[in-house]
Chains A and B, each alone.
Chain A
Amino acid sequence: MEAIRKAAVIGAGVMGAGIAAQFANAGVPVLLLDIVPEGSKDRNALAASAIAKMLKTEPAPFMSARAAKLVSPGNIEDHLAQLAECDWIVEAVVERLDVKQALYAKIDAVRRPGTAISSNTSTIPLRLLIQGLSDAFARDFLITHFFNPPRYMRLLEIVAGERTDPQLTQSIADFADRALGKSIVHCKDSPGFIANRLGVYWLQVGVIEALDAGLTIEEADAIVGKPMGIPNTGVFGLIDLVGLDLMPHINASLAKALPPADAFHAANRELPLVKKMIAEGYTGRKGKGGFYRLNRAGGGKLKESIDLTTGAYRPQVKAELPEFAAAAKDLRKFLSSDGKFSRYAWRVLGQTLRYAASLIPEAAADINAIDEAMRLGYNWQWGPFELIDKLGAGWVADKLEKDGLSVPPLLHASRDKSFYRQDAGRRQFLGADGVYHDVERPAGVLMLEDIKRTSKPVLKNASASLWDIGDGVLCFEFTSKSNSLDDQIIALLGKTIPLVQEKYKALVIYNEGRNFSVGANLGLAIFAANIAAFGEIDKLLAAGQQTYCALKYAPFPVVSAPAGMALGGGCELLLHSDAVQAHAESYIGLVECGVGVVPAWGGCKEMLTRWSTSGMVPRGPMPAASKVFETVSTATVSKSAANAQELLYLRPSDRITMNRYRLLADAKALALQLAANYVAPKPVELKLPGTSGKLAFDMAVDGFYHRGLATDHDRVVADALAGVLSGGTADPIDVVTEEQLLNLERGAFMRLMKTEGTLARIEHMLVTGKPLRN
């Protein structure tokens, strides 16, 4: 099968529409079809309204406005023939076998032979779906199970049937990996596949054990959360997110499909409280609230929680006990101690790990598949078998036995082993055959994590490391907290430049943290300001400017590869790179104004250069400066890499990688491509509006101030920014040099650092993580 040039999704519910949006995000035109609603004038109403709704949904299913235009709404009565133009047809209609099969017959009649057809079912086995359908259909059919929301959840479970063409499965998996950015876990054709089979069991156990132990939901979520490497939503918060009303349906379908001996049945107790909540419309975040709610009665915003014993709402009480913090450090010790919290933690985790061990080989071929499914499908930091390794397989098995629970054969056989091990720098997992196998990355994937396991850094200090990633390319990695930028990073970058120049071809700046960089280390800045060490701040500004410029004009290509947030100084680093290979989920922005300063590591200079040379704004000294002023004064952060291109945080020529795992390989390839015949860029000569332009900016800010949209200190910060972006006292007929702009940036930054308002903003950000609107 060739590449997917056009796709179709049938069923415009939340999942179907979200899957269609992800095709569009990948640049693939997609047809979104649903039934013709009775009595509706617009025969495409269901698909059209799903698209309209997605344009308003947060977090946004679309990565750009451009992407939204790639989805064409239609209906299955008038537009089915167009399926012949599609290379992949995804079915995401209601979970009813008869409805799906009737649709398949219709699809089969119009599709091109060889076109892949997949179902997004989460409950119906593949063998039932293809019953009675042609051999040709069965050959082209598979299950592709996306997670909600499809743009953001990285897991894609694939189930291929016995008759499914392996080559077709491979090419769908490959496309889903590279173009849709999903990581593939192959599952057996068993109920609930992997992630939901285990995840639903875990949620159910989490709820009933909390009820039995008399815990509050806050306590339960605090225990089954951070200490276990599970997102803060824990159990009850996650059910609110998924929707309480889905629980009984999913549980019932699993109960129906699973063999009588399955442990799920024991946990599948009816929950009168949940039933009552659903009946009253408390279906979770999509409804008027769930286990948690925001009570807006009387115009207020009161955070409330359900009392599990009375079933009534009461004010939320944070569960911040010292033992929970200790549990995060030493989970085994916490699980070993006595007391209702520890007992609850063990009851939930022990049963969940036991259940996970029982799923091989029925649901998954190996432990690696289960771990990956839980990491990517439920955002667990560690998969269940990694958790067992942390606790010790023997210890877990003993403790289960002590509780009178049988130990699954896989766990029993591994009592004196670990499920994962390092062998000659390779990560290996224990196979069902009792032998260790290498954890294989998909072809072409390059992970710094793997390189680090087998090599030593070329350079290293407390905040950064430099790695040789082969073929003459070095990779600069931030290692500071939240990858915040400090003097150490600037210093190591300074040492890196001559090294690359001397011995290597190119430099990639990349790391595998949650965020590329949250920006400069504000703690250091406030510390220096508090002891009036303004000279130190100025020195760091100068060093940063110098180093970033040195990177830009170095005689070798610098490719930055962000994923997650790249803010402030992190964004400025991207702006000084020759090219950026960004993960699609990159949230990039110059957010300095939010903490009361202006970009001063060349961010203003680079953004002015970009907009001035973009050809996207009218001529004259103001339009480019206005665009930058608008973006930077409001601390705008892009909502995706594609959106960053619209804001020119990324150039239109910068590249986007959809799959996080492929980012480094793509960045390295781009760096090597640029290294051939590399010529460093030349400084751009800018003409800026000077004091007239500054007045125009100030007048605009005054307008916002009068309207109550800008605060007192916003005015001060915007005035300083206006001074930089207008080029200071520049005459519009003169050229402003990069050096002049850098001096303006530094001057404005230093002036602001001496204002009360800015110090208050920085302190507030450090304490609360949120901007202060003073």
Chain B
Amino acid sequence: MSNVVIAGYARSPFTLATKGALARVRPDDIAAQVVAALVERTRVNPQDIEDLIVGCAFPEGEQGFNVGRMIGLLSGLPQSVGGLTVNRFCGSSMQSVHIAAGSIQLGAGDVFIAAGVESMTRVPMMGFNPLPNPALNALVPAAYIGMGDTAENVANKWHISRADQEAFAVRSQQRAAAATEAGHFTAEIVPIKSKGGVVDKDGCLRPETTAAALSQLKPAFDKDGTVTAGTSSPLTDGASAVLVCSEDYARRNGLAPLARIRSVAIAGCAPEVMGIGPVAATTKALQRAGIKISDIDVVELNEAFASQSLACARDLGIRDDILNIDGGAIALGHPLGATGARIVGKAASLLKRVGGRYALATQCIGGGQGIATILERI
């Protein structure tokens, strides 16, 4: 079977929902600009692309109409390129990568763009018409549980103190600030055109955050709880994309692959503690790759909440120095459908930047799932 590689990564700036600079830009317009830039930067021949696979957690409204196809047409991809929309909530665009990789290994194409998008401004979380099934709610009361409540549950069950969560949030902010300062995001960010001018900077960062300031915040989900807005990822607008192709194709066409996909996994867990999903998924992926967590040199663990990030890191035994080296979603933001492709692309780029052999990208998923991808340096 052919090896699958990540041969390029790009994303839009991530900006705060509602008040951010991308609030007035349609999500398909954001994603199309990212896809077009990825094609241009990687110099892939667009005629060779089999499919554009777009992850999106609430694919309706401006994210509807099979937005994967619409983004392809908007971005100027040849009409011969397919378009698919994938929904696995927060894991959507990591799933896009997995579908691309699986297709390549199945011989169903050589080159794919795995992308993700979410405007949490323009399509609200839960969508416009949330219609949960009362029978399911009776059967599995946590099926529709709010994400904040799961973060509280994880904090309780895994004994993650408020102070630890806040220290983790400060760490994320500091790392993201340092990475911004060092220009580590410059290469990945695609400037996005908006009515108010070009948007080329991340908008969620709060580099001035201190533990003392965080300790003053009111709990965001439970008046007696420990999770605050400061230890949660903010509602965010943004898009991301990675180029996924066979290693042979990359070599033949002079592309510059960042990393090889070594293994992937998906795993379900209890919905009420969905944040712990990465543990089971990562365990499976490590097993499939035939390696141990200690073999990993770079980890991108999505920071939906500080509590679940810490619980996963502790359960998996992830070393602090390799975890979210350029900061995570608490600082950068978490546009649901776009995060998976971002952390896969980020893990691949970091592997190249910091050296080492293996990288892990993993995230938790609402409803009770985890998803993981293990990359290997080429």
Spell out A's residues near B (CB within 8 Å).
617-623, 689, 691-696, 699, 703, 706-708, 732
Which A residues touch B220, using CB under 8 A? 707
Q: Are A620 and B144 in contact (CB under 8 A)?
A: no
Which residues of B, 206-223, contact A by the 8 Å Cβ criterion?
219-223
Q: With an 8 A cutoff between CB atoms, is B287 at the interface?
A: no
Q: Which residues of chain B are near A691, meaning CB under 8 Å? A: 134
Q: Which of A689, A695, A706 contacts B137 (CB 8 A)?
A: A695
Is the Cβ of A699 less than 8 Å from the Cβ of B221? no
Check if A622 sits within 8 Å of B129, measured CB to CB.
yes
> Which chain B residues in 137-177 approach chain A with CB under 8 Å?
137, 144, 146, 148-149
Residues on A with beta carbons closer than 8 Å to the beta carbon of B133: 692, 695
| Contact of A621 with B128 at beta-carbon distance under 8 Å, contacts A699-B146, A706-B223, A707-B219 already known | no
A621–B129 alpha-carbon span in the complex (Å): 7
**A623 and B223 in contact, given A618-B61, A699-B146, A703-B146 (Cβ under 8 angstroms):** no
Q: Are B131 and A621 in contact (CB under 8 A)?
A: yes
Smallest CB gap from A699: residue in B: B144
Q: Which of A621, A623, A703, A707 is the most central at the interface, judged by chain B CB atoms within 10 Å of its CB?
A: A707
How many Å from the CB of A90 to the closest CB on chain B?
33
Is B134 touching A692 in the complex (CB atoms < 8 A)?
yes
Quick check: A732 and B131 within 8 Å, CB to CB? yes
| 17 A–B contacts from the bound complex (CB under 8 Å) | A618-B61, A618-B128, A619-B128, A621-B129, A623-B129, A689-B129, A692-B131, A692-B132, A692-B134, A694-B134, A696-B130, A696-B132, A699-B146, A703-B148, A703-B221, A707-B222, A732-B131
A708 and B223 contacting across the interface, CB-CB below 8 Å: yes
Given the complex, which residues of B lie within 8 Å of A703, measured CB to CB? 146, 148-149, 221
Q: Judge whether B131 and A623 touch: CB under 8 Å.
A: no
Please give the distance in Å from B119's CB to the nearest CB on chain A: 14
A622–B149 touching, CB < 8 Å: no
Residue with the greatest number of chain B CB neighbours at <10 A, chosen from A619, A695, A708? A695
Chain B residues whose CB sits within 8 angstroms of the CB of A621 once the complex forms: 129, 131
- Interface core residue of B128, B129, B144, B223 (most chain A CB under 10 Å): B129
Whether A695 touches B132, Cβ cut-off 8 Å, given contacts A706-B149, A706-B222, A707-B220, is: yes
Residues of B within 8 A of A619 (CB): 128
Residues of A near B132 (CB, < 8 A) are: 692, 695-696, 699
Q: How far is the CA of A617 from the CA of B124 in the complex (A)?
A: 13
Report Cα–Cα, A707/B221, bound state, in Å: 5
Q: A621-B129, A623-B128, A693-B131 are in contact. List 8 more A-B contacts (CB 8 A).
A: A618-B129, A621-B131, A622-B130, A689-B129, A692-B134, A695-B133, A707-B220, A708-B223
- How far apart sit A2 and B128, CA to CA, in the bound complex (Å)? 48
3 tightest A-B CB contacts, nearest first = A708-B223, A620-B129, A692-B131
Q: How far is the CA of A699 from the CA of B133 in the complex (A)?
A: 12
CA–CA, A623 to B131, complex, Å? 11
The range of chain B's interface size is 20 to 34
Task: Report the separation of the CA atoms of residues A732 and B223 in the bound assembly, to the nearest whole angstrom.
Answer: 35
Question: Which chain A residues border B223 with CB–CB below 8 Å?
Answer: 706-708
Residue of A nearest to B220 (CB): A707
Cβ-closest chain A residue relative to B223: A708
Within the assembled complex, what's the spacing in Å between the Cα atoms of A696 and B220? 19
- In the assembled complex, the Cα of A617 lies from the Cα of B129 at a distance in Å of 11
Distance A333 CA – B132 CA, assembled complex (angstroms): 70
CB within 8 Å for A689 and B221 given contacts A618-B61, A699-B144, A703-B146: no
Instruction: Kindly state the separation between the CA atoms of A694 and B222 in the bound complex, as whole angstroms.
Output: 22
CA separation between A620 and B126, bound complex, in Å? Answer: 14
Q: How far is the CB of B125 from chain A (nearest CB, A)?
A: 12
* Residues from chain A with Cβ under 8 Å of B137 in the complex: 695
Q: B164 to nearest A CB, angstroms?
A: 22
Tell me the minimal C-beta distance from B132 to chain A in angstroms: 5
Q: In the complex, what residue of chain A is closest to B146 when comparing beta carbons?
A: A703
Chain B residues lying within 8 Å of A618, measured Cβ to Cβ, are: 61, 128-129
Proximity bits, B66-87, A CB within 8 Å = 1, else 0: 0000000000000000000000
Q: In chain A, what residue has the closest Cβ to B126?
A: A696
In the assembled complex, the Cα of A619 lies from the Cα of B129 at a distance in Å of 8
Per the bound structure, the CA–CA distance linking A710 and B61 in Å amounts to: 31
Give A99 Cβ to nearest chain B Cβ, in Å: 39
Q: How far is the CA of A335 from the CA of B148 in the complex (A)?
A: 66
- Tell me which residues across on chain A come within 8 A of B148, comparing CB atoms: 703
Nearest-neighbor residue (CB-CB) of B225 within chain A: A706
* Chain B residue nearest in CB terms to A708: B223
* Cβ B131 vs Cβ A622 within 8 A: yes
- Per the bound structure, the CA–CA distance linking A621 and B127 in Å amounts to 12
Contact digits for B2-13, partner A, Cβ 8 Å, 1 yes 0 no: 000000000000
Residue pair A706, B221 in contact (C-beta under 8 Å): yes
Residue of A617, A621, A696, A732 with most partner-chain B CB within 10 A: A696
Closest to A697 in B: B130
Chain B residue nearest to A689 (CB atoms) is: B131
Minimum CB–CB distance for B86 against chain A, Å: 23
The answer for the CA separation of A708 and B225 in the assembled complex, in Å, is 11
**In the bound complex, what is the Cα–Cα distance between A692 and B146 (angstroms)?**
16
Chain A residues with CB below 8 A from B222, complex form = 706-707
Q: How far is the CA of A699 from the CA of B141 in the complex (A)?
A: 11
Contact A622 B146 (CB under 8 A): no
- For B149, list chain A residues within 8 Å (CB): 703, 706
Which chain A residue has the least Cβ–Cβ distance from B130?
A696
Q: With a CB–CB cut-off of 8 A, which chain B residues contact A696?
A: 126, 130-132
CB of A696, distance to nearest CB on chain B (Å): 4
Chain A residues whose C-beta falls within 8 Å of the C-beta of B130 in the assembled complex: 622, 696
| Closest chain B residue, CB of each to CB of A617 | B128
- Tell me the bound Cα distance from A703 to B151 in angstroms: 13
Contact residues in B for A620 (Cβ distance below 8 Å):
128-129
Which residue of B has the minimal Cβ distance to A705? B223
In the complex, which residues of chain A have a beta carbon less than 8 angstroms from the beta carbon of B126? Answer: 696
How distant is A704 from chain B, measured CB to nearest CB, in Å?
10
Binary flags per residue of B106-138, CB closer than 8 Å to A gives 1, else 0 = 000000000000000000001011111110010
| Whole-angstrom distance between the Cβ of A731 and the nearest chain B Cβ | 11
Nearest chain B CB to A627's CB is how many angstroms away? 11
Contacts of B129 in A (CB 8 A): 618, 620-623, 689
- Using Cβ atoms and an 8 Å threshold, which residues of chain A touch B128? 617-620, 622-623
Smallest CB-CB separation from B60: which chain A residue?
Answer: A618
Q: How far is the CA of A345 from the CA of B250 in the complex (A)?
A: 97
Q: Are A695 and B134 in contact (CB under 8 A)?
A: yes
Cβ of B316 to closest chain A Cβ, rounded Å? 29
A707 to B217, CA, bound (A): 13
Residue of A with least CB distance to B219: A707
A220 CA to B304 CA, complexed, in Å:
61
A623, chain B: closest CB distance, angstroms: 5
Shortest distance between the CB of A457 and any CB in chain B (Å):
51
Determine the chain A residues whose CB is within 8 A of the CB of B61 once the complex forms: 618
Could you say which residues of chain B place their CB within 8 Å of the CB of A692?
A: 131-134
Q: Nearest residue in B to A696 (C-beta to C-beta)?
A: B130
Residue of A whose beta carbon sits closest to that of B148? A703
* Bound Cα distance from A689 to B126, whole angstroms: 15
How many Å lie between the Cα of A321 and that of B129 in the bound state? 59
Chain A residues in 8 Å Cβ range of B225: 706
Complexed CA–CA distance, A415 and B128 (Å): 73
A689 and B130 alpha carbons, distance in the complex (Å):
9
Q: Which residue of A lies closest to B145 (CB)?
A: A699
Interchain CA distance A174-B127 in the complex, whole Å: 51
**Please, how many angstroms separate the alpha-carbon atoms of A696 and B131 in the complex?**
6
Q: Which residue of B lies closest to A625 (CB)?
A: B129
Which chain B positions have C-beta within 8 A of A623? 128-129
Give the residues in chain A near B221, CB-CB below 8 Å: 703, 706-707
Expressed in whole angstroms, the minimum distance between the Cβ of A589 and any Cβ of chain B is: 25
In the complex, A692 Cα to B137 Cα: how many Å?
10
Q: Shortest distance in angstroms between B85's beta carbon and chain A's nearest beta carbon?
A: 18
**CB neighbours of A706 from chain B (8 A):** 149, 221-223, 225
As a 0/1 sequence over residues 217 to 241 of chain B, the CB contacts with chain A under 8 angstroms (1 = contact) are 0011111010000000000000000
Q: How far does the Cβ of B246 sit from chain A's closest Cβ, in whole Å?
A: 42
Q: Which residues of A contact B146 (CB under 8 A)?
A: 699, 703
Determine how close the nearest CB of chain A comes to the CB of B147; give it in whole angstroms.
11
